A and B are shown apart, each in its own frame.
Chain A
């Protein structure tokens, strides 16, 4: 069997992981909060894409123009109403708050949409092409991957070139100093959480055509997103992007050459090894913890 097959499918799947990881990493960096509701925010994106497709007949990739602003606003309000109340509280309280909010979201979805998984079948859902011999490349995954790359590049320029982006980065580097410099850190937190939510929802929408939509579907991606942002270095956009692809490839390679039931163990072992050997992550700055 070709070595290229797991490599390519790993990279493409990793792209979606990366997007989920980037959103979480940004929240981590700016607000110093582990967001356990991140998977549920992804689920929100999946349902938005599903309803845009079934009710408004908009292609899931095009519906991103609706999903991104809606989910940004949702995240922004969520930060304003709930998260900022605990921003100075101990970590475990913040974590439990996001767990509670996640429970509320997933169980509201369970009541509203029932636990029947929804399948978003587009004309290209199971189509593939063969660029190199018998290696198949999934069309929807490739599209998702390209959109992920575009979003990552836009985000990178937003953070490094715009004044809001620079203020976000300043808050991420040193909250107190940023405040002293006249940056409205409370507003930056809300913006960061809004962007994080929008990225999670986008990841959800991107995976919707090749995955299934279920109130608890986001949970699969939660621990992966954590692993990715630690791997890349908390707060590093590029790091999370690379981290996502690494995780995707490691999973695909270990299913192919070892065994599919041990692949998650391998991912966690790598995660622990990185924590021990390079706790700032692959792309984080030293002392950033």
Chain B
């Protein structure tokens, strides 16, 4: 009974022969469509879909095989293995979460199918020397680095950390602590919290009592809004709120002007940066999906564009790997080149941006060559 059943299942799974050399290039896309990260996953889905449309308009045909990992590394691995063995794709974009990306990246050299990670932040993904793993976005350490560089000139003395007990939160704060130590900042409070709680007032009161110059925050989605609401409520007002990506870079957050005004955040992308096509992408995205694009959407767009353009010329996985390694691009994410530096392999040394919410809009304020507005410091209600 058992082995008969298994063979039926196995037969069903194998029933459809691979179409290895069919005309349009075949690319896989692993994303968190369901599960805890589904909200960010949706931004990636939209960004990738726009890239495919633009490529079609340019006459580049692609067959995209979409896979959901639900944020579970086991599923991400199954998805990658399905893509490379059953669907015979020659390149894969994704996965979004760091855990999933870590697991898939560790198998990429085994299957020799290039993986382009669009937006996962964990540093070690591109630090293990994998030949077939490429990453477009800047890793976690850059978030804190760029934020601290932006406020360095104002000579802050103390810093407090408030962050979610997640991989991204812990990794980012770890590097932020190193960067803070280098700048001679004194750490006066460290509050790690479990996500989704309704009451952060006790943690924020502790931070307020320590009276820091800088409050460094890492939060997801709506937790950012909750924290800032409660910070206002209890009267926490440091010289600057520094938000590392994620929840502090959403349009929804910017709209809450009462609480979000003058909050500074690090991001991979803004629509007012002078990178080619960035503003146009922002406009078209808004028209199509009726909401502001997040940096995840821009990363997914650019990752998909680079992957498909390169793959459609390369045709095979080994050639694709060589072309990704050798090539350089310039698009909505600025100049892209997958380089080996500072322990990284095939990592795009992407310059992150610092933005500040001014009059309900994100304005790029640092680095100077990408920005039109100046940073407002200190923070005031």
Are A and B in direct contact (Cβ within 8 Å)? yes
A210: contacting residue among B34, B198, B209, CB under 8 A: B198
Query: Is the interface on chain A under 10, 10 to 19, 20 to 34, or 35 or more residues?
Result: 35 or more
Whether a CB of chain B sits under 8 angstroms from the CB of A273 is no
- B222 contacts across to A, CB distance below 8 A: 117, 119, 212, 214
A212: contacting residue among B201, B225, B234, B291, CB under 8 A: B225
Whether a CB of chain B sits under 8 angstroms from the CB of A256 is yes
Chain B interface secondary structure, helix, strand, loop or mixed? Answer: helix
Contact A136 B234 (CB under 8 A): yes
B193: contacting residue among A116, A126, A207, A260, CB under 8 A: A260
Contact A252 B42 (CB under 8 A): no
B39: contacting residue among A1, A117, A138, A251, CB under 8 A: A117
- B206 contacts across to A, CB distance below 8 A: 1, 255-256
Whether a CB of chain A sits under 8 angstroms from the CB of B229 is yes
B199: contacting residue among A1, A13, A115, A261, CB under 8 A: A13
| Chain A residue at minimal CB-CB distance from B193 | A260
A84 to B206, CA, bound (A): 49
A10 to B201, CA, bound (A): 9
Contact B198 A121 (CB under 8 A): no
Known: A119-B222, A256-B205. A9 touches B229 (CB 8 A): no
Known: A110-B38, A117-B252. A9 touches B194 (CB 8 A): no
Contact A13 B198 (CB under 8 A): yes
Instruction: Name A239-289 residues within 8 Å CB distance of B.
Output: 248, 251-253, 255-256, 259-261, 263-264
Instruction: Name A202-223 residues within 8 Å CB distance of B.
Output: 207, 210-212, 214, 216-217, 219-220
Contact A110 B203 (CB under 8 A): no
Q: Smallest Cβ distance from B79 to chain A, in angstroms? A: 19
- B203 contacts across to A, CB distance below 8 A: 255, 260
Instruction: Name B196-214 residues within 8 Å CB distance of A.
Output: 196-203, 205-206, 208-209
- B225 contacts across to A, CB distance below 8 A: 119, 212
Contact A220 B198 (CB under 8 A): yes
Whether a CB of chain B sits under 8 angstroms from the CB of A5 is yes
Whether a CB of chain B sits under 8 angstroms from the CB of A114 is yes
Contact A5 B39 (CB under 8 A): no
Whether a CB of chain B sits under 8 angstroms from the CB of A134 is yes
| Chain A residue at minimal CB-CB distance from B195 | A220
- B361 contacts across to A, CB distance below 8 A: none
- B202 contacts across to A, CB distance below 8 A: 5-6, 9-10, 251-253, 255-256, 260
| Chain B residue at minimal CB-CB distance from A220 | B196
Known: A5-B205, A117-B39. A261 touches B198 (CB 8 A): no
Contact A6 B192 (CB under 8 A): no
- B226 contacts across to A, CB distance below 8 A: 210-212
| Chain B residue at minimal CB-CB distance from A126 | B229
- A219 contacts across to B, CB distance below 8 A: 196
Contact A127 B192 (CB under 8 A): no
Contact A126 B221 (CB under 8 A): no
Q: Smallest Cβ distance from B374 to chain A, in angstroms? A: 27
Known: A1-B209, A212-B225. A121 touches B256 (CB 8 A): yes
Contact A126 B233 (CB under 8 A): yes
- B42 contacts across to A, CB distance below 8 A: 114-116
A16 to B199, CA, bound (A): 11
Q: Smallest Cβ distance from A148 to chain B, in angstroms? A: 14
Q: Smallest Cβ distance from B332 to chain A, in angstroms? A: 22
A128 to B234, CA, bound (A): 8
| Chain A residue at minimal CB-CB distance from B43 | A116
Instruction: Name B8-61 residues within 8 Å CB distance of A.
Output: 34, 36, 38-39, 41-42
Contact B229 A125 (CB under 8 A): yes
A126 to B225, CA, bound (A): 10
- B201 contacts across to A, CB distance below 8 A: 5-6, 9, 138, 252
Contact B259 A115 (CB under 8 A): no
Q: Smallest Cβ distance from A221 to chain B, in angstroms? A: 8
- A125 contacts across to B, CB distance below 8 A: 229
Contact B34 A9 (CB under 8 A): no
Instruction: Name B206-251 residues within 8 Å CB distance of A.
Output: 206, 208-209, 221-223, 225-226, 229-230, 232-235
Contact B259 A126 (CB under 8 A): yes
- 18 A-B residue pairings within 8 Å (CB atoms): A5-B202, A6-B205, A9-B202, A114-B39, A115-B39, A115-B42, A116-B42, A117-B39, A119-B252, A126-B233, A138-B230, A210-B229, A212-B221, A214-B221, A256-B205, A261-B193, A261-B194, A263-B194
Of all A-B residue pairs in the complex, the 6 with the closest CB atoms, nearest first, are A212-B222, A255-B202, A117-B222, A115-B38, A126-B229, A115-B39
Other CB < 8 Å A-B pairs besides A107-B34, A138-B233, A219-B196, 12 of them? A1-B206, A9-B199, A114-B42, A119-B222, A138-B201, A207-B198, A210-B198, A210-B226, A214-B39, A220-B198, A251-B202, A255-B202
